Structure 1
Amino acid sequence: MNWILLIIGGLFETGFAISLGKAQHSSGREVWLWLITFAICVSISMFLLFKAMGGDKPIPVGTAYAVWGAIGAVGTVIMGILLFKEPITFWRMFFLSTLVISVVGLQVVSSEG
């Protein structure tokens, strides 16, 4: 259950990053709506990260934060490509994949200990 909470929290991290981007591209009242969305997403994301690190089978803080951050980073890059027409370059995808590989590797070595 904690892993599900962590994954959902990571998705809300993507939500708060994208909300900031949308606020930058907005004006007037729409800016405030995006900032409210940001506040809601960051609150939910942090709460779910907190919950994932507790309970019966807590996820260690280092692993939880790395996975949460990676989900948010990967989701933000993907949404940036889809919503903001950010470029898809070889190096961008290369380093994004090394991030994912590193987090998976961290999980593998963490569970061995």
Structure 2
Amino acid sequence: MAWVSLFVAGLFEMFGVVMINKLHRDKNWQAKVLLLLGFGGSFLFLALAMKTLPMGTAYAIWTGIGASGGAILGMLLYGEPKDWKRLAFITIIIGSVIGLKLIS
């Protein structure tokens, strides 16, 4: 269950990052509320996961999901560059997250 909570925390983190970009573009109260809900959900599920998982592992995986997911969503939703170097390093981050899961 801790791994599911950690994955959900990463998804909320990705959502929060997208909402930061939305807030910069729209500057309305809905974007602010969604941003707070995204990061609030992220911290809540991270805290649940850390009841079982070691802090270092949980934090590394959480940031990896958030960072790589945020970069991918930026490419898909906001036209950020999709060059092979960015994709290669995102793949390394995702591979590292999978590796930490496999050895934990």
The answer, yes or no, to whether TM exceeds 0.5 is yes
**Partner residue of 1:47 out of 44, 49, 52:** 44
Indicate yes or no: 2:29 matched with 1:37: no
- CA displacement at 1:107 relative to structure 2: 3.6
Corresponding residue SS for 1:64: helix
Distance 2:10 2:100 in 1: 17
State the partner residue of 1:87. 81
- Bigger radius of gyration, 1 or 2? 1
Structure 2 residue runs without a partner (length 5+): none
**What is the aligned length?**
104
Distance 2:31 2:5 in 1: 24
- Quote the sequence identity (%): 36
Structure 1 residue runs without a partner (length 5+): none
Indicate yes or no: 2:26 matched with 1:26: yes
Any runs of at least 4 consecutive aligned residues in structure 1 with deviations exceeding 6 A, and if so which?
A: none
Q: Please tell me the root mean square deviation across aligned C-alpha atoms, in Å.
A: 1.3
- CA displacement at 1:102 relative to structure 2: 2.3
Indicate yes or no: 2:3 matched with 1:6: no
| Normalised TM-score (structure 1) | 0.84
- CA displacement at 1:103 relative to structure 2: 2.6
| Normalised TM-score (structure 2) | 0.91
Distance 2:58 2:26 in 1: 33
Corresponding residue SS for 2:26: coil
State the partner residue of 2:64. 70
Distance 1:52 1:20 in 2: 24
Indicate yes or no: 2:93 matched with 1:103: no
Structure 1 residues 33-83: Cα deviation after superposition (integer angstroms, max 9, x where no partner): 1111111111111010000011xxx11111101111111112111211111
Distance 1:67 1:83 in 2: 23
Distance 1:43 1:16 in 2: 9
More displaced stretch, 66-75 vs 9-18: 66-75
Identify if the C-alpha distance between structure 1 residues 106 and 4 changes in structure 2 by more than 3 Å, giving closer, same or farther.
Answer: closer
